[in-house]
Structure 1
Amino acid sequence: MRGLALLFGLVWSLAYAFPRVGVHEGFTRLVFDLPSKEVPYTLTQENGLLTLVFRGISASSLDQVVGSPEVASVQTVPEGGQVRVLVRLKGSVEVSTHRYSDPERLVVDLALRKAPQTPSKPASPSPPDPLRNRTPKPPKPVVLLDPGHGGVDPGMVGYVVEKEVVLDVALRLKRLLEKEGIEVRLTRDRDVHLSPDKRDDLSRRASLADSSQVNLFVSIHVNASPTRTARGVEVFYFGRAQDPRVLAQVIRENGGGELGKRLTQEAQSVAERILSDIVAQANQRYGQRLAETLGRKLAQATGSPYRGTFPGDLFVLRYAKVPAVLVEIGFGDHPVEGRNLADPAYREKVAQGLLAGVLTFLANGAYAR
């Protein structure tokens, strides 16, 4: 895990933009999410302007102010049957490009050219500076943890109370992640609600994931079943729920009853727009990959069955601009698993499993490489 430090320097938030822009120590990175490897492009650089033209795709018009040492701004201009991207540079810039698959993307790195050194008169030797050759520390990845429910909303109540269990697990996971050099933020750090109104509460949690300062969003919950016999781990990423059982669970997580149905319908309208947005589709794929990684690592750590990952119209995930998931760490109404979730030692295993999932996802670098 110590070897992850260098990889963490490549992490930035996945925004709904074409391209995604990441500013790092010594370079600026542009990531163009593409629908397939067949998309052709051209790249030219002249008079402080880098121009890329992608044929056969569409994207929204956008003008991003970057203000990095290498890039002043990036403008996306949709044209008939193609997209032109204008990158306004600062000074002389070296350009390197890389093409990656699964998902398909073009990565363009821009770094200032080093000025040639001019010979100078030999100076008297000076004591070595221990900081001169030190490698700059990469930026810390930022993980946003959302302990579900809280305050007036207890969540599911069985052998445990959901709001208490998920807060304890989130605090344990925070401690473990921070030991690995990861910055952690919480939507709540005590037994409080963000709003007594369920819609407003979920909207406030969702808005915290709509930030360029966050790299991953993990909402932690405890599951329940009508028969009280189900057990295991399930993880959800944002998308249209296909299975009626999943849809029923989504409605429950969205507040239940008529409120849950209304919020689910609102989230469904967002999910439908993903079908025509290639950048949002890329974010959905990253969310699915994060969900699968967390689910398998959590099941391995706890011995609880892995029930799978599912798309769901979850209100709290609808506007996340980073890989975002809702993880059901177990069934609190199951006679065995519910009692397990009441055990602090088992909750530590849950936190360890989630830690392993997050570290594996970041180390693979699939969405930020």
Structure 2
Amino acid sequence: MKRIATYLSSALLLGSWAAAQTGSLSRSTPVQVQPAASGFASGIEPLAQARGAMFGNPRISSANGVTKLVFDLPAGMTYTLVPTFGGLRLDVGGARVVPASALRLAENLTEYRAGTGQIVMGTPFPLSLSDGWRATEATVASGNRVLIVELGSQMRGGAVSSVSGRVLAAAPADARAQASLQAPVPATDHAASSEHANDLPPGDSVKRVPGTLPPAPAAMTDTDTSRPSTLVGRIPGILQAGASVSAPRVGKSPGVTRMVLDLPPGTGYRIVPNTLGLRVELVGVGLGDARTSEQDTSSEVRAWRYERTGEGVNLTIVTGAPTTSRSGWRSQVLPPSSGNLMRLVLDISPAMANLTPLTSKERLIGSVPPMRANSGVSGLALLSSPSYVRPRVVIDPGHGGRDPGAVGTIIEKQVTLDVAKRVRDLLVAAGVDAVLTRETDRELHPDKNTDLQMRAQMGTPGTQMFVSIHVNATEASTALKGYGVETWWNPNHARSYDLASTLQRGMVRTTGAFDRGIKGYRSLSVLRNSRIPAALVEIGFTSHPIDGLNLTDNNYLERVAVGIASGVRDALLTGVSASGQPAGAASTTAP
């Protein structure tokens, strides 16, 4: 019993030591806080004195859920404010920072640490560029300038116009992450400037006006979107000497442009997708007196031109987006409408995704090895062989219950739950402990803000990442400009941008959908309130006449689910997770 008690005591001591190391603002050893010396803010222990211009020693007060820190600004000093998932960092130039360290100074100030040109103000909630804090400058009665920092979970504003310092997002060193946060708000995102709408993804703040969306175009006759368009073919019949082609006939429908080539019997053709559009190689025919080019044909076709080749004629179609063998366009050959010329019909739209069914191999998600369990879970485990668990991931189907989300060709809450269940099943089969924020058509709380916070808080300690699934939408006036997939992130965690990038790559690779990239200019509540890597995927626009049809297609939804699941797997295998350790690291030593 004595030996067991000794082991247990040691385990508890080790557990306490391990707990002291966790958190975004942890140090190697605990700090003993002594009463403040005269002239210093209450609770902050000065560690050194220095000559010259000094900065620090804030005056601290709290009232009505807000903690205020007031700093005196020396002349000539510069500073940068960096909101992070663990608090507010203040980088100082032109003055010496008074070294100091203290814990739990106020309700919203869990730590104050200063030294070597930097001050860190720890908070019990994550900060974004505009939420959780506010900074202002003012001139006091003595004529001196002061910097006022206010911290509070409901605080909004960030750095106001009076602040002379810079503000940076605590993103990874990758310049693309900073750019996504500081990108200008698109003109089509009318609601982004709204204080409350900024909490929500763009599609959630769109006003629903029935009957105002562009109508879907008529489907191609006898087309089968589950089969890839033929890239190479030949028109039936015998090619006659001197056969030629005419200028393509162009038809326009909302979101799609149709080009029709009338081809003589025996004409061979090959369709070559590329980053600029399409090239149609016609073999055995000439141009004759046909018109050879056109500019600004439509929104989907910027230009087309004929060029003679040694084998016949090439038609180059410049589109508004890259094409692949299975996305951005579709084709079919139709019988003559009159005469003997068959019709090669090309429908072109950047919103056309890959709707072909996945093969069994493509549907398979590779296994994910277990991860080393959090050392804080079991003190005794620290003294024996380490334990391993299945990595836990939270999948959040957006909306539910009385909140339908975006409504167009589909109802968002239904599609997000459908896709989330597919993602969960794929991940569970791969060895991941995937859980949903909701299993049925319900909201977590009647109040929207509370609902979003409850979803975010399901990322409990030990959870590796949080992925929210949504459907996008735009106002009817801009519906034709919104299509494709995008992924949102906030600087709530140091690895959130990398998670968003990994998920976006997975979706684009699997669906062939238009890549709208990584977004970060909105401070989304469901992301910023999460303390683990978090991202929100928008899987398509229900307001677009073509993209909306994608969302009704089972093959597309299956591809979306596989893309998200493969992105989650890639993130776990590369350490883009809360633990920062790749799944399976050192797992060969597990019992």
Give the TM bin, normalised by the shorter chain.
0.5 to 0.7
* Bigger Cα displacement from structure 2, 151-160 vs 191-200: 191-200
Q: Tell me by how many angstroms 1:225 deviates.
A: 1.7
Deviation at 1:206, TM superposition (A): 2.0
Residue 237 in structure 1 maps to residue 446 in structure 2: no
**2:479 counterpart residue number:** 228
Distance 1:221 1:20 in 2: 38
Task: Report what 2:432 is aligned to.
Answer: 182
Q: CA deviation at 1:170?
A: 0.2
1:1-369 pair list within 5 angstroms: 16-19=23-26, 61=103, 78=113, 80-81=115-116, 138-209=388-459, 211-226=460-475, 227-229=478-480, 230-239=482-491, 283-284=493-494, 286-311=495-520, 312-367=522-577, 368-369=580-581
Between structures 1 and 2, the one with greater helix share:
1
Instruction: Report if aligned partners of 1:18, 1:59 keep a CA contact under 8 Å in 2.
Output: no
- Counterparts of 2:544 and 2:568 in 1: how far apart (Å)? 27
Tell me the C-alpha RMSD between the 2 structures: 3.7
The letter of the residue matching 1:347 is: L
Encode CA deviations 1:165-192: one digit per residue, 9 max, x unaligned: 0000000000000011100111101101
Structure ID, larger Rg? 2
- The answer to whether the 8 Å contact 1:143/1:215 transfers is yes
Give the Å deviation of 1:331: 0.7
* SS of alignment partner, residue 321 of structure 1: coil
Matched positions, count = 227
Shift of residue 337 of structure 1?
1.5
Matched-pair contact (CA < 8 Å) for 1:236–1:310: yes
Normalised to the residue count of structure 2, the TM-score between the two structures is: 0.35
Structure 2 gap ranges (5+): 1-20, 29-85, 87-97, 105-110, 120-171, 175-373, 376-380, 582-591
The Cα of 1:213 is off from its aligned counterpart by 3.1
Dislocated runs of 4+, deviation >6 Å? 56-60, 109-114
Alpha-carbon distance in 2 for matches of 1:113, 1:205: 35
1:296 counterpart SS class: helix
Q: Which residue number corresponds to residue 48 of structure 1?
A: none
Structure-1 separation of matches of 2:473 and 2:102: 41
- Deviation by residue 1:257-299 (Cα, 9 ceiling, x = unmatched): xxxxxxxxxxxxxxxxxxxxxxx6xx24x10111111111101
Report the TM-score when normalising by structure 1.
0.54
Match of 2:259 in 1: none
Q: Is this contact kept in 2: 1:234–1:295, CA < 8 A?
A: yes
Shift, 1:103, TM fit: 7.1
C-alpha distance in 1 between matches for 2:398 and 2:22: 24
How far apart, in 1, do the equivalents of 2:432 and 2:544 lie? Answer: 34
Pick closer, same or farther for the CA change 1:112–1:176 going to 2, 3 Å: closer
Q: What is the percentage of aligned positions where both structures have the same residue?
A: 40
Separation in structure 1 between the aligned mates of residue 484 and residue 411 of structure 2, nearest angstrom: 17
Aligned residue for 1:208, secondary structure, equals: coil
1:141/1:215 contact within 8 Å kept: yes
CA contact (8 A) 1:217 1:324 kept: yes
Deviation, structure 1 residue 61: 3.6
2: CA distance, partners of 1:15 / 1:309: 29
Deviation at 1:195, TM superposition (A): 1.6
Distance 1:366 1:153, change over 3 A: closer
How far off its partner does 1:138 sit? Answer: 2.3
Cα deviation for residue 356 of structure 1 reads: 1.1
SS at match of 2:416: helix
Shift of 1:194: 1.0
Paired with 1:20 and 1:165, the residues of 2 have a C-alpha distance of: 45
Report the Cα offset of residue 59 of structure 1: 8.2
Q: Compared with structure 1, are the counterparts of its residues 80 and 20 closer, same or farther at alpha carbon in structure 2 (3 Å cutoff)?
A: closer
Spell out, residue by residue over 1:56-100, the C-alpha distance to the aligned partner (whole angstroms, 9 max, x if none).
9998748xxxxxxxxxxxxx99575599xxxxxxxxxxxxxxxxx
**Post-superposition offset of 1:313:** 0.4
Equivalent residues of 2:485, 2:508 under 8 A apart = yes
Which residue is equivalent to 2:95? none
| Superposition deviation, residue 147 in structure 1 | 0.5
Question: Residue 101 of structure 2 contacts residue 114 of structure 2 at CA under 8 Å; is this kept in 1?
Answer: no
* Matches of 1:150 and 1:20, distance apart in 2: 42
User: Using CA pairs below 8 Å that are at least 6 residues apart, which structure has the higher relative contact order?
Assistant: 1
